[in-house]
Structure formats: C-alpha cells, structure tokens
Amino acid sequence: MFAAVAVAAPGVDGGRPLAFAQLTIEQSLIVRVPRRTPAKPLKWKSKKGPKCVAMSSIAGAAVVADDAIDLALRGGQRLRAQFSSRCPALDYYSGFYILPTEDGRICADRDMIRTRAGGQCEIKRFRKLVPDD
C-alpha cells in the first residue's frame, strides 16, 4: 500500500516545482503455533461391522496392512475393510481406488478395491473399530 503526497503546488510559494513523497507501509503477520506433545496412539478393538457402507459416508482411508485398509467415516466412526487374501501392491504404491456401484454402497463379499498397479482385492468383511480403553 502506498500514498503519494504533494508537498507544494505549482505557482504557490514562488513557483517551486511540484515535489512528491512516497510512503510504503508493510505489514507482516506471524502466527505462533505451540508445540504439543504427540498424543498416545490409539489402540483399536474390532467388533462386528456392517455388511455394506455408503460411499458418501467415507471421509478418508489408510493402508494398515497388506490384507486390510481402515476407513474413516463422516461422524468419526472407523471401519476396517479386511480382504479375502493378501493385497501386497497396496503398500508399495500407497494408493487404491473403488469403482462406484449402482447402489452407492461398498459391500463385503461383493465389491473389491483396485490397486494403482492394476490388481484387485476382494473385501471379505468390515469390522467396526472402537478405541480400546
């Protein structure tokens, strides 16, 4: 941001030439974030899960093993999708995708995830994860 200020006008005060001054204002904002000690990692206990999960309820996912992925659902619930066999390409390529279905749900013993390497891993079952007290 700057402003120009006239010091003298022409013809005023003996005809001195017009002079300008420039003022520059700089502002910086520093946000300090306090360091927090890392929280103790949660240990999960698994319980019987649903047969199907709405795709629209999935907020995120993480590869936890070569035979399972964890799904974070909207609202904070967590599910573990367990595969019928090992799916080693998941960890190597760090990613997977799920093709949309007509009913908008992912179901065990019906649907599969696809690895970025081109493999497929059938979902055997879903397990509900709850924090182990």
Looking at residue 14, what is its pLDDT? 62
- Of the candidates 95, 74, 87, 76, the residue with the CA atom closest to the CA atom of residue 123: 87
Tell me the two tokens of residue 62.
Answer: 């993480």
The answer to whether position 62 is within a domain reads: yes
Q: Is residue 61 part of a domain?
A: yes
Q: Kindly state whether residue 37 falls inside one of the protein's structural domains.
A: no
Domain range spanning residue 106?
44-131
Q: What is the pLDDT of residues 108-132, one digit of tens each?
A: 999 988 887 778 889 999 999 998 8
pLDDT at 9 over 60: no
In a domain, 66, yes or no: yes
Mean pLDDT of 52-63: 90
Establish if 16 belongs to a structural domain.
Answer: no
**Is residue 19 over pLDDT 50?**
yes
CA distances from residue 95 to 8, 73, 105, 113, 130 in whole angstroms, order as listed: 68, 18, 20, 10, 24
Express as a percent the part of the chain with pLDDT over 70.
Answer: 73
Q: Considering the domain boundaries, does residue 23 fall inside one?
A: no
